[in-house]
Amino acid sequence: MIKIDLSKTILLNSARNCLRYLVRVLGITKIYIPYYICPVVWQSLRKENVKILFYHIDKNFFPTICFNENDYILYPNYFGICNKNSEYLALKYKNLILDNSQAFYGSKTGLASFLSPRKFFNVNDGGILFCKFNLEQNFVPDKDRDYIINSFDDFCKNELSLNNQPIKLMSEKTKSYLKNLNFEKSFSERKRIFQRISNVLKNINDFKFLTDENIAPMIYPIISKYNANIKYIMEKYNIYPLKFWTKLPNNFLESYFQNKIMGIPLTLQSVEIIEKFI
């Protein structure tokens, strides 16, 4: 059963600002983050003058180092498929912070975790923070944005509008949308789409990963010799597979993920294209 009680969360204007909020409320001065992560994460941490220590991940997306008991560690639930990793690491490290930006329905475990509804729903702002601590500070709500995200260009425009935004509360428009959302239905639909895409592509997907009944990820990740063909077909119908993130040194294992993984958006149109043409 998927239950997200928004009344028990902190609703801010972006996931990156959820992390900045945590830095302030927990008094974090040093934190471990992976090399393989969206650059806005370390950019946000630098705005808070936090010392960043980078770590590598292995082929199973686990950190390759052991942390000390009191270390603060940020771990991304990659693509929304790393629930088991997240749960294991949360048991091992008391100061684990989960970046669930790509895993809206991922495990809400660890010291704190945060979500990015923009990556799952048609909203223009928002970050949902699960945290037991509150800053004694009054933040203003973000402005309501009028335009709707109907294309990749709209998405990029909205992303740019969030750059350099200070910590604010979630906009009233997004808050109202989320409070009226049927999370259980949304989870079931996303899970069903993920499974349909997997049924078609799993035999040509060289990227093997574990799934469970709680998997309803952001995208379907694939590494295949057919990636270019799939991308070409989907872009003909204005569906744009994703790449993650900026280029890393070639001697990093993570550069293989960066170069090879393609993320297929979990939409009904994606399913229809894949089932018809692949």
Query: What average pLDDT does range 233-240 have in this prediction?
Result: 94
Question: Do 111 and 95 touch, CB atoms closer than 8 A?
Answer: yes
Same domain, yes or no: 220 and 92: no
pLDDT tens-digit readout, 16-74:
999 999 999 999 999 999 999 999 999 999 999 999 999 999 999 999 999 999 999 99
Evaluate whether residue 1 is within a structural domain. no
In the chain, DSSP assigns E strands to 10-12, 30-34, 51-55, 73-76, 96-100, 112-115, 127-130, 219-222, 262-265
pTM summary value: 0.91
Question: Over 80: is that where the pLDDT of 162 sits?
Answer: no
How many domains is the chain built from? 2
Among 231, 224, 236, 215, residue whose Cα is nearest residue 260: 224
Same domain, yes or no: 191 and 250: yes
Task: State the Cα–Cα distance between residues 73 and 30, nearest whole angstrom.
Answer: 9
Q: Given the DSSP bridges, would you call strands 73-76 and 96-100 parallel, antiparallel or unpaired? A: parallel
Mark which of 145, 161, 179 sits at the end of a domain: 179
Evaluate whether residue 254 is within a structural domain. yes
Question: Do 57 and 64 touch, CB atoms closer than 8 A?
Answer: yes
- Residue 5 CB partners (closer than 8 Å, separation 6+): none
Tell me what pLDDT residue 150 has.
53
Split at pLDDT 50, 70, 90, the class of 159 is low
Signed CA dihedral, 248, 241, 14, 101: sign only: negative
CATH of the domain at 268: 3.90.1150.10
Structural domain containing residue 28: 6-179
Evaluate whether residue 217 is within a structural domain. yes
Same domain, yes or no: 266 and 169: no
Evaluate whether residue 164 is within a structural domain. yes
Same domain, yes or no: 165 and 39: yes
